[in-house]
Structures are given as structure tokens and as C-alpha cells.
Amino acid sequence: MATLEAEALRKSFGGIEAVRGVSFAVQPGEMLALIGPNGAGKSTCFNMLNGQLRPDAGRVRLAGRDITGLAPRQVWRLGVGRTFQVTATFGSMTVLENVQMALLSHHRRLGGLWTPVRRMDRAPAEALLARLGMAEQAGRPCGILAYGDLKRVELAVALANDPRLLLMDEPTAGMAPPERAALMALTASLARERNIAVLFTEHDMDVVFSHASRVLVLDRGTLIAEGAPAEVRANPRVRQVYLGSGAMQGGY
């Protein structure tokens, strides 16, 4: 069964249709890329998947269960981790504490009034950070972290609830090229290892074509192509859409 199914999603803002009937599915262990030029509706699509936006029409199913209209925190409880285009972490907490928060929430221990956080879920949080190569940064406040490191913190946080689905909105934006490859390779290996379905948007075509197992192309709210990276790269319509931007060559 597909981990995530989107069915005929629609959303308009003030009369302008941002997403017009998009359907697709993500399989366990798969790295699915959602690409498209600026304003194609990628982020809107993304935000409807985890409940940040409510679709005007259409359904979202997680492992067969209808989750349309659930709040993001409820979607998270069902095993969906998410990273943001502009990183969102808790700036007044250390890297470790950020991960601990996700773990504590996962274990439903956030109502605690007595035991200090520093004594809770520390070991698993450290293990997770070590897996992401962030062990040395564990004690640093997120407020002063480099952007690339923040992206990794977000990934760690998103992985904390043992997700079956990862939603990553431009996971490598703001990183140097070697860093990007490393992060995506790591993600891909985690996805395989834990059988996680990954859906990500990305501007960097190198990243897309070297790490995605499948690619979806969105233009003006409609899905215009879907398939293996090589197929999509060869698709004339896709080339046309991307022609002006030159983004097919990689980089920005």
C-alpha cells in the first residue's frame, strides 16, 4: 500500500488557483521529488499534505487513512515528519534539546511539570544526532547555528517520531554543493534502512536527478510529468517549462 496518496487536491487563494487537481502517491522507501518553477504550487501542495493548509477539494490519505483536514500536530502523531523551506527550530534551545522535544512529544511526555528535560530522552536524541553527524553540535543553541546545520537539525527532529513519511521542503537550500549531496545521500540511506517514504521539493536539479527515485513536475498548479528522473529530464514539456529558468542545468 502506498504510504501517502494525494487525490485531486485543489486550493485557491483569493480566486487564483494555486493547485488544480493534483494526484500522486509515495511508496515506502521511495525518494519522490516534487519539482517545478517558482509559483508552480509546490509549497501549497506540501502544506496541504501535513494539514497546514486545508484543501478546497480532494483527499489526502496516509497508509489508507483519510487525514484531510487534520491539524499538523495530529498528522505528525500519525507518523509524518516535516522540514521547512525556511528552517523552523527552537532558537532558545540547544540542538540536543530540539531533538529531545520531538522525542518527548512523540512519547507524550510534554505535560511533565517536574523532571527536568535534561534528564529525559537524552540518549536517543544523542544517537539520532550522531547518525546525522551532528554529535559535536549537540550542545550549541540553535539560535547561533549555521544554516546548513539547522537543516540537519530539522531532519533529526523530523525523524524523531519514527516517521513513515518525511516531507522535506527544499532540504538543501542554502547549503554548499558537497553538503547537499551528503545530506541527500544520508536521507536516502535512512529512507531505505527504515522504509520511510520521502517526498521532497528541490530547486537544485543535480540533487533531484542524482537522489530521487521518481520525479513529479508541477506547473501552474497542474502535474505535467511524472516518472523516473531520466524520463522526466527528457520530457519536452518539462524542458519547455524550465527553458527560461535554465534550472535544468543544475544550480540556480
* Contact residues: other proteins, CB under 8 A: 50, 52, 71-73, 76-77, 82, 84, 88-94, 97, 100-102, 104-106, 109-118, 120, 139, 141-144, 157, 160-161
Write out the three cell numbers for 57: 477539494
Smallest gap, in angstroms, from Cβ of residue 180 to other proteins? 22
146-150 own/partner pairs: CB under 8 Å, 24+ apart: 147/87, 147/174, 147/175, 148/174, 148/175, 148/176, 148/179, 149/95, 150/87, 150/89
Cα–Cα dist 186/121, whole Å? 23
Smallest gap, in angstroms, from Cβ of residue 129 to other proteins? 16
Cα–Cα dist 182/188, whole Å? 10
Pick the closer one to other proteins by CB: 89 or 235: 89
Pick the closer one to other proteins by CB: 47 or 172: 47
Smallest gap, in angstroms, from Cβ of residue 187 to other proteins? 17
Name the 3-class secondary structure at 177: helix
Pick the closer one to other proteins by CB: 38 or 115: 115
Name the 3-class secondary structure at 178: helix
Smallest gap, in angstroms, from Cβ of residue 83 to other proteins? 9
Cα–Cα dist 77/63, whole Å? 13
Pick the closer one to other proteins by CB: 100 or 187: 100
Pick the closer one to other proteins by CB: 77 or 233: 77
Smallest gap, in angstroms, from Cβ of residue 217 to other proteins? 26
Residue type, 170: E
